[in-house]
Amino acid sequence: MESSEETRLKYRYLDLRRKEMQQKLIMRHNMMKAIHSYMDANSFIELETPILAKSTPEGARDYLVPSRTDNGKFFALPQSPQMFKQLFMIAGMDKYYQIARCLRDEDLRADRQPEFTQLDVEMSFVEENDIISLIEGLMKKVFKEVLNADVKVPFERIGYEECMKKYKTDKPDLRKNGEDYMFLWIVDFPLMEYSEEEKKFVSMHHPFTSLRKEDITKLDSGKLDGIKARAYDLVLNGYEIGGGSIRIHDPKLQHKVFEALKLTEKEIKEKFGFFVNALRFGSPPHGGIALGLDRIAAIMTKSESIRDVIAFPKNKDAKDLMLDSPSQVSEKQLKELGLKLAK
């Protein structure tokens, strides 16, 4: 009799005894080993970034950590190492990568978790094709070494507008004739999209994404819906497994994009002041990408959920059934942090 997923998660240490689960985690290990080998062979340096960072207004909800030594102020757990990896480029570390832990407080599905792992990559003095070629080579190596599967490169590319018109989705599954794995690049995304909820334009990827030179005049004139981003997403079997872009490296252009997103001068200074200031010291042109390793591992192991390739995952309600967390803390702990629970 098959146990329910809730029971399996509560007694995860027993669930992991099953051969099927052990094989999935071993395959994930082999995937990581192939990634490290490939990045090292291509002269990348693995660098770590902070877990206690700063809350920013873009993207999903942050997980917040109250400061004991500065009551009323908070760290945020990183949704990604985005600004840190760009700072590495400003610092002269031209080829960075990291197997990074990322955290987002968002509604969960089969392919989402509150904490997840991504391959984070950034390079200086590159164009879109350099990054695309690097990742195609990586996928070819990983799938060959781990599954003995031959992945055809280069991958097909399709523009965002054409993709939406033809397939009604920006992550189509284009497998045919019994193919196991079909990679696809989606390119030419809009830089911004109008949010009915917020009643303003928001970044389609993130506010550090660069735009085509010919569209800078549109940014100046306020015609925001026709601006194309220098961004690219990687799709595998109908799942988005990665995304990246060429970044803005000119502080004046970065400031213009912040203004177009209706950020006030106070917000720009409070949230991104350190980053804009760093750009003023001179930044090389740079770009990068992040790949969702949990999703890739789930596809490679033919798992229905990324929970099957994470050793100790949360359930669909973002709870750890094995640890019974999140859990309450003592009044003393709250007092030390300058907090008290609202009725």
Give percent above pLDDT 90 in the chain: 80
Q: Is 277 exposed, middle or buried (0-12, 13-18, 19+ CB in 10 A)?
A: exposed
Half-sphere exposure of 194 (CA within 13 A, CB side): 7
Q: What type of residue sits at position 170?
A: D
How large is the angle between the packed helices 82-90 and 265-280, nearest 10 degrees? 30
163 HSE (CA, 13 A, CB side):
22
Residue 233 sits at φ, ψ, to 5 deg, of: -115, 145
Return mean pLDDT, the chain. 94
* pLDDT reported for residue 194: 87
pLDDT at residue 197 in the model: 86
Number of Cβ within a 10 Å radius of residue 272: 23
**Who's near 160: CB < 8 A, 6+ residues apart?**
170, 186, 187, 188, 189, 190
pLDDT at 218: 87
Of 197 and 309, more confident = 309
Please give the sequence-ordered ranges of beta strands (E in DSSP) within the chain, or none if there are none.
45-46, 64-66, 74-76, 95-103, 115-124, 156-159, 183-187, 192-195, 200-203, 231-236, 239-246, 286-292
The values of phi and psi at residue 248, to 5°, are -75, 125
What pLDDT score was predicted for residue 112? Answer: 86
Q: Is the pLDDT of residue 230 over 90?
A: yes
Q: Residue 110 pLDDT more than 70?
A: no
Domains and CATH numbers, the chain: 17-310 (3.30.930.10)
pLDDT(59) > 80 = no
- Which pLDDT belongs to residue 57? 59
Question: pTM for this one?
Answer: 0.94
Angle CA(68)–CA(71)–CA(73) in degrees, nearest 5?
100
Q: What is the pLDDT of residues 300-341, one digit of tens each?
A: 999 999 999 999 999 989 999 999 999 999 999 999 999 999
Alpha-carbon distance of 8 to 22, in angstroms, equals 14
User: For the segment 30-52, what is each residue's pLDDT rounded down to a tens digit?
Assistant: 999 999 999 999 999 999 999 99
Output the pLDDT for position 224: 87
pLDDT of 1 higher than 80: no
Q: Which amino acid, one-letter code, is at 110? A: A
pLDDT tens-digit readout, 142-182:
999 999 999 999 999 999 999 999 999 999 999 998 889 99
- pLDDT value, residue 200: 86
Residue 164's pLDDT is what?
Answer: 97
Going from the C-alpha of 330 to that of each of 5, 319, 336, 339, 340, the distances in angstroms are 31, 20, 10, 11, 10
Q: Is the dihedral of CA 247, 54, 60, 196 positive or negative?
A: negative
**Whether 181 contacts 301, CB under 8 Å:** no
